[in-house]
Amino acid sequence: MRGYPDLKSSRQSRRALRAAAILNVLSGCGCVRNKATRPVGTAEPTSTGKWSRNGLRILVAEDNLVNQRVAVRLLEKVGQLVRAVANGREVLAAVDQERFELVLMDIEMPEMNGLQASAAIRERERARGGHVPIVAMTAHAMSGDRERCLQAGMDGYLTKPIQRSELLALLGHLTAEERTGDREAALPLLS
């Protein structure tokens, strides 16, 4: 702002401090790896020809464009690699095309809802093997909603609006699972 140069630098300082604090928290929970050598969330081919990266590969299934953009932006800001889809049929296509370390799934979506998509993923996993963590993202906070999500094969449950701290805790637990290989102990039920 003209006439107030300290105000502009003060805003920049607050942004830098906020970014440093976020990186500090994420480093402590394991969400940021090797931050000194590569920017978070970047990928590079290795000598084996496979891709390595610092962030988790996350699929966001959300039909509301605003909610989708918010979730994607939040995840990308903390170094995650994100793909977004708008319905359950697109979820199934994406899971067939790519390997994800996490699926954040809205419950109410057109064409195929999140419960149906989760059940279909679990059925495919029973036939093919493997397991991708699926966490419900829903405004449904009524009694029994969490149980319906778990019965459909989901691993966790977050209520909307998604709390940043809960999402970061989830990411920290998933990276702990990567390190320890203990899926049951690594993924808590949130909210």
Give just the sign of the alpha carbon dihedral 62, 63, 64, 68.
positive
**Residue 172: per-residue pLDDT:** 80
pLDDT tens digit sequence for 175-184? 666 556 655 5
Q: Could you tell me the domains of the chain? A: 5-186 (3.40.50.2300)
pTM: 0.67
**Residue 13: per-residue pLDDT:** 53
Residues in the chain: 191
Check pLDDT > 90 for residue 83. yes
Band of pLDDT at residue 107, cut at 50, 70 and 90: very high
pLDDT tens digit sequence for 127-149? 999 999 999 998 877 778 888 88
